[in-house]
Amino acid sequence: AEHQHARYNPLRDDWVLVSAHRVKRPWQGQLEKPPPEDVPRWDPNNPLCPGATRANGEVNPQYEGTFVFINDFPALQPDAPEPGDSDHPLFRAAAARGVCKVMCFHPWSDLTLPLMSLAEIRAVIDAWAELATELGASYAWVQIFENKGAMMGCSNPHPHCQVWASSFLPNEARLEDRTQRQHRSQHGVPMLLEYAEQEARRKERLVVENADWLVVVPYWATWPYQTLLLPRRHVCRLQDLREGERDSLASIMQRLLIKYDNLFEVSFPYSMGWHGAPTGPYLEEDCGHWQLHAHYYPPLLRSATVRKFMVGYEMLAQAQRDLTPEQAAERLRSLPELHYKRRDK
């Protein structure tokens, strides 16, 4: 807790420098603006609201639950042409095709996942699984991700996520496929299944748990309050979850996200995403080395207005963090599970 050291991340095959004493230094850098507290429940100018008109002229239905549509400005399209042949190995290009969708969690703009009911969160999980199945039938990778808050690049105050399906394995998926495959080959057990068992026993980095899931600040965490959401049994893909596991997933997500909001009493920003076994052509292959998991990467470090910047040493050498994962986990673990906005009600 007091002396710098490096920790190995077996999932990414890299290292993070832990310098816990640096969190004591005074901060005179950039201060962020807290997210607005007065978001209107419905705004006709908000393109994600029911009945609103989007940039392409389409009008959203008066949806009452989840709502999925094709991204109006997709990064991937299904009919992109093949790139030209390369005349040198240092100038390679490859085809990149896919589909990008947006999924609204709820019709109200003033809600976020931790303020939604368990039934509403469960509906989001079911919609995630349906999209993973639908897009995974033909695409190699389906990336479900949520950017929450303006600090993480979200331009719209409405509860939503994105789902990008690609004809190729992105860098992170390719890396995790290699490391998990090597671990099972060498040790005979999926890496993250073994890791979850170890963390459940040690408990020093445990944040919340239930019968089917646990959330930890990983031993190799990079972001200050980064967490890893893991199932207790071997599950390869989101769509493989049982009914009871989906219910308990809704519960543990709500508990974690309430703790996040309670940490600095603010709608906590983060980027999160699900990683599971590849799909499409990989559905016919043995992907037993994969274990389903979700990453949460929040940027806040000291308060609602002070964030962690990944610059300088982090960009040019390796990742570095300013408090130990154990310290972060203890702080999150000790927070109440009643949302700060509902304490007086």
Determine if residue 24 is labeled as part of a ligand binding site. Answer: yes
Determine if residue 275 is labeled as part of a ligand binding site. Answer: yes
Check if the beta carbon of residue 335 is closer than 8 Å to that of residue 259.
Answer: yes
Determine if residue 267 is labeled as part of a ligand binding site. Answer: no
Check if the beta carbon of residue 97 is closer than 8 Å to that of residue 77.
Answer: yes
* CA-atom Rg of the chain in angstroms: 20
User: How far is residue 257's CA from residue 259's CA, in Å, rounded to a whole number?
Assistant: 5
Determine if residue 233 is labeled as part of a ligand binding site. Answer: no
Residues tagged active-site: 160
Residue 232: which residues within 8 A CB-CB, separation 6 or more? 196, 200, 211, 212, 213, 214
Determine if residue 155 is labeled as part of a ligand binding site. Answer: yes
User: How far is residue 37's CA from residue 216's CA, in Å, rounded to a whole number?
Assistant: 29
Determine if residue 41 is labeled as part of a ligand binding site. Answer: no
Determine if residue 313 is labeled as part of a ligand binding site. Answer: yes
Q: Tell me which residue of 241, 338, 327, 339 sits closest to 1, measured CA to CA.
A: 327
Buried residues in 169-178 as b, exposed as e (16+ CB within 10 A): beeebeebbe
Determine if residue 153 is labeled as part of a ligand binding site. Answer: yes
Determine if residue 25 is labeled as part of a ligand binding site. Answer: yes
Determine if residue 309 is labeled as part of a ligand binding site. Answer: yes
CA distances 69 to 105, 127, 293, 337, Å, are: 12, 12, 25, 33
Determine if residue 145 is labeled as part of a ligand binding site. Answer: no
The token duo for 245 is 């596991």
Determine if residue 158 is labeled as part of a ligand binding site. Answer: no
Known binding residues for UDP-alpha-D-glucose are 22-25, 55, 71-72, 147, 153-155, 162, 308-309, 313-314, 320
Known binding residues are 22-25, 55, 71-72, 147, 153-155, 162, 176, 275, 293, 295, 308-309, 313-314, 320
Known binding residues for Fe cation are 176, 275, 293, 295
